């Protein structure tokens, strides 16, 4: 359908488009020469020029792409003076995801290249000190990759643990986050999480191997039978628990920051901003609130993970020989699931105590005050009594859903780096 119509320079289409970015078109000096072409499969019909067109108020355009949500882009093809032009109305969430990916991909490429060069350089050293550095390095790289891969699920797990029955399901929270914050919101808190997990995971592997070595030298906790010369499961549990407590104490302020960034993205825009806000509201103590239940939870949490993984790995090697890729992923997944299930109620209380660092008098629901817990046992009692025992296990599904692939990937990368770095563990 081809229409030739005279348009005054002040004429603008009376259309309000919300949720899209509209590219405004300036008034046309010679409006009579404008041609609009619309292709359609139906029969062509003429469009009558709108009367009193010159009295129409100019269209007010907006650049707000977050007014409402949109699923698809819309394109309006135009033909002006024999040429062509198009007005593209794009989905804001898609633009946000593309921009975020465009910034992340070069950084990931640089990090990958640095990791390869670092691994090649470290593999040439063999001193005892170098062996310790290699363990920290392998654990840090494995932790960063595994946690980033599962960051959206871990974000949902944190929200469900802290907000209890206010969150209906994992899929609903993911959808809500996407609609409100876009692609960036799916990874909120991941930067602080990576800063925390790199030294934490590296320290865990270092302390774990150190404690095992000392126990072997002292002849404590040795296994009998076919596994003679190595530690039994209880000794691995103890060594892993000690490693988890040491690592948690070192990086705990970053754990608080990660929780704040996940739950209060509007108030905490960055890692320094979150640290500053917690410090201003609660002082230094706010950065360590919840440390008690964290240390208690880390003993079974990390201890069970190391015990299950290494015990099953030793038995696999005795029964079937060297452990392959699929077996490593399976054993890591079993260790992660067992660890998460063993310490989840304490994890719920730990994160809720971290929320108290914000010193907020009211929660998002104006009539519901924020609950205060003086210690771990008080938190367990109050949540069980006033909210129900089931709340202590809120987020267990997403936590296991995140922990299983995260631990599997982490152990796989750790074992790969141990081979590349020429490191042997007991």
Q: How far apart are CA 267 and CA 269, in angstroms?
A: 6
Q: How far apart are CA 336 and CA 404, in angstroms?
A: 5
Look at the pTM and tell me if it is higher than 0.75.
no
In tens, the pLDDT along 324-373 reads 889 999 999 999 889 888 888 888 887 787 777 555 444 444 444 455 67
Q: Which of 138-142, 143-147, 385-389 has the lowest mean pLDDT?
A: 385-389
In tens, the pLDDT along 293-312 reads 778 888 988 999 999 999 99
Predicted confidence band of residue 204 (pLDDT cuts 50, 70, 90)? very high
Q: Which of 32-41, 117-126, 273-282 has the lowest mean pLDDT?
A: 32-41
Q: Which of 137-141, 188-192, 222-226, 345-349 has the lowest mean pLDDT?
A: 222-226
What pLDDT, on a 0 to 100 scale, did the predictor assign at position 102? Answer: 75
Query: Which numeric CATH code is attached to 93-421?
Result: 1.50.40.10
- DSSP secondary structure string, 56-106? SPPP-----TTSS--SS-EEEEEEETT--EEEEE-BHHHHHHHHHHHHHHH
Q: Where along the chain do its domains lie?
A: 1-90, 93-421
Q: How far apart are CA 61 and CA 65, in angstroms?
A: 11
Is residue 38 scored above 60 in pLDDT? no
Q: How far apart are CA 239 and CA 230, in angstroms?
A: 13
Greatest distance between any 2 Cα atoms in the chain: 98
174 or 38, greater pLDDT: 174
347 closest CA partner among 239, 202, 243, 244: 244
Q: How many CB atoms lie within 10 A of CB 303?
A: 25
The tally of CA atoms less than 13 A away on the side-chain side of residue 88 is 4
260 or 337, greater pLDDT: 337
Is residue 90 scored above 90 in pLDDT? no
Average pLDDT over all residues of the chain = 74
């Amino acid at each position: 359908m081809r229409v030739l119509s005279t348009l005054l320079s002040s004429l603008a289409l009376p259309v309000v488009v919300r949720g899209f970015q509209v590219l405004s078109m300036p008034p046309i000096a010679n409006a009579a020469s404008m041609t609009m072409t619309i292709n359609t499969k139906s029969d062509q019909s003429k469009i009558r020029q709108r009367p009193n067109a010159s009295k129409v108020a100019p269209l007010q355009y907006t650049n707000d792409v977050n007014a409402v949500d949109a699923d698809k882009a819309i394109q309006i093809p135009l033909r002006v003076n024999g040429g062509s032009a198009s007005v593209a109305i794009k989905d804001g969430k898609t633009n946000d995801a593309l921009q975020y990916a465009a910034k992340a991909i070069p950084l990931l490429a640089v990090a990958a290249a640095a990791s390869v060069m670092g691994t090649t350089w470290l593999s040439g050293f063999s001193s005892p000190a170098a062996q310790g550095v290699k363990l920290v390095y392998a654990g840090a790289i494995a932790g960063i990759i595994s946690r980033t891969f599962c960051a959206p699920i871990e974000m949902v797990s944190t929200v469900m643990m802290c907000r209890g029955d206010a969150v209906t399901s994992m899929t609903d929270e993911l959808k809500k986050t996407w609609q409100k914050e876009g692609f960036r919101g799916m990874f909120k808190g991941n930067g602080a999480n990576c800063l925390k997990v790199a030294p934490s995971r590296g320290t865990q592997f270092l302390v774990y191997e150190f404690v095992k070595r000392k126990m072997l030298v002292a002849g404590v906790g040795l296994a009998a039978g076919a596994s003679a010369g190595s530690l039994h499961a209880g000794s691995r549990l103890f060594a892993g628990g000690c490693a988890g407590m040491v690592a948690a104490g070192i990086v705990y302020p970053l754990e608080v920051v990660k929780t704040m960034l996940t739950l209060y993205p509007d108030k905490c825009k960055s890692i320094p901003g979150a640290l500053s806000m917690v410090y201003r509201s609660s002082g230094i103590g706010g950065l360590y609130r919840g440390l008690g239940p964290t240390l208690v939870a880390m003993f079974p949490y990390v201890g069970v993970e190391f015990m299950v993984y290494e015990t099953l790995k030793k038995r696999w090697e005795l029964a079937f020989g060297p452990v392959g890729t699929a077996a490593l992923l399976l054993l890591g997944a079993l260790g992660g699931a067992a660890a998460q299930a063993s310490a989840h109620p304490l994890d719920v209380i730990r994160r809720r105590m971290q929320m108290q660092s914000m010193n907020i008098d009211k929660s998002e629901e104006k009539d519901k005050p924020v609950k205060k817990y003086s210690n771990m046992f008080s938190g367990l009692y109050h949540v069980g009594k006033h909210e129900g025992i089931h709340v202590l296990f809120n987020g267990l599904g997403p936590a296991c859903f995140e922990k299983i692939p995260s631990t599997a990937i982490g152990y796989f990368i750790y074992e790969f780096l141990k081979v590349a770095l020429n490191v042997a563990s007991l």
